[in-house]
Amino acid sequence: MKQLTLRKPDDWHVHLRDGESLNFVVPATARQFARAIVMPNLTPPVTTVEHALAYRERILAATDPKLGFEPLMTLYLTDVTDPDTVRQAKASPYVHAVKYYPAGATTNSESGVTKIDNVMGVLETMAEVDLPLLVHGEVTDHGVDIFDREKVFIHDILEPVLQRIPDLRVVFEHITTRDAVEFVTNSNARIGATITPQHLLFDRNDIFKGGIRPHYYCLPILKRSQHRAALLEAATSGNPKFFLGTDSAPHSQASKESSCGCAGIYSAHSAIELYAKVFEAADALDQLEAFASLNGPNFYGLKLNTETITLARETWQLPKELPFTGDDKLIPLLADDTLDWKLVTNHG
């Protein structure tokens, strides 16, 4: 196969940051994707519809309008989010979900939920109006091993919440374990999951290959190879519950290559090509369109994109680094390495 034409994909989980950073990262996502679910973990976090709409305008100002990129906004759930905010979000054509970060779980999660009981009323309203809850599914108890935090979250938090509110629509974001794959597979049709390129391509050994490699560090952290195998099987299975979400999370090279490096992997530069690599290696290129372009909009109840993109079978080298704010650089996933598929046309 020399060319691969797909319905234009969407990214159902991306971090675009704010301010000057937008100019460096929004164009990369807008070049590949028609739409993206934009994470609200700014400082301060995006907690109101008003704040989300202003952020949306700043994102749109950072991209070429001809691309027609549509940011799909989300609100950040805190202990004090009220049901009225949920109703306003549902009424807005621009806000599509609410993001739940357990406080302390990851980058900019300090304002997140400290105790799930604090938000049960709000989650009930979300179920009532059918507004999706996007979940960072890791417990924050440091007594729980970092590699077990997702599994424990399913048992301690997610299962009990869904027992109490069975109608809640949930996207289990950036799943990393066989446990999460099984949980989502065995749940009702309102439970879906996103899967990142890094969790499909790598396992935890890649963080320590010949030394410590900060550009492979993200949260949830890479897991054992058998978990990667389960994710690969889920992503390529055609099961409509699983869809593309890069979790592309830009941090400057300096803040990654530090004695306490930030969590987050930047993949927006070549996201669809990275997924093509994964699907080809699994002999499942015919399943890429469902994962990248159909399952997400169907889950969110949004229309399918009508444009297409074309990838060509062509070996090319990813840049070593990309420009970022000031003198900072961004190191993309697989920097300086080669890929065998390249996005060549975007009929968007």
Q: Which residues bind ligand NCD (CB under 6 A)?
A: 15, 41, 106-108, 136, 218-219, 247, 249, 263-264
Among this protein's residues, is 18 annotated catalytic?
A: no
**Of the residues 247, 283, 327, 340, which is catalytic?**
247
Choose which of 10, 138, 247, 273 interacts with Zn ion (CB under 5 A).
Answer: 247
Q: Provide, rounded to whole angstroms, the least separation between the CB of residue 47 and Zn ion.
A: 17
Query: Which contacts qualify for 77-84: CB closer than 8 Å, 24 or more apart?
Result: 77/101, 77/112, 77/113, 77/119, 77/122, 77/133, 78/45, 78/47, 78/111, 78/112, 78/113, 79/113, 79/114, 79/115, 79/118, 79/119, 81/47, 81/119, 81/122, 82/122, 83/121, 83/122, 83/125
Partner whose binding site includes residue 298, from Zn ion, ligand NCD, none (CB under 5 to 8 Å by kind): none
Q: Provide, rounded to whole angstroms, the least separation between the CB of residue 246 and ligand NCD.
A: 10
The residue (of 77 and 311) whose beta carbon lies closer to ligand NCD is 77
Q: Provide, rounded to whole angstroms, the least separation between the CB of residue 262 and ligand NCD.
A: 6
Residue type, 248: S
Partner whose binding site includes residue 157, from Zn ion, ligand NCD, none (CB under 5 to 8 Å by kind): none
The residue (of 196 and 270) whose beta carbon lies closer to ligand NCD is 196
The residue (of 138 and 247) whose beta carbon lies closer to Zn ion is 247
> What is the Cα Rg of the chain in Å?
19
The residue (of 247 and 273) whose beta carbon lies closer to Zn ion is 247
Looking at residues 319 to 338 of the shown chain, list those that interact with Zn ion (rule: CB under 5 A).
Answer: none
Q: Provide, rounded to whole angstroms, the least separation between the CB of residue 141 and ligand NCD.
A: 17
Q: What does each C-alpha distance from 249 to 14, 46, 97, 215 come to in angstroms?
A: 7, 16, 19, 11
Q: Whole-angstrom Cα distance, residue 94 to residue 48?
A: 12
Q: What tokens appear for 64 in the block?
A: 């070429």
As annotated, the active-site residues are 247
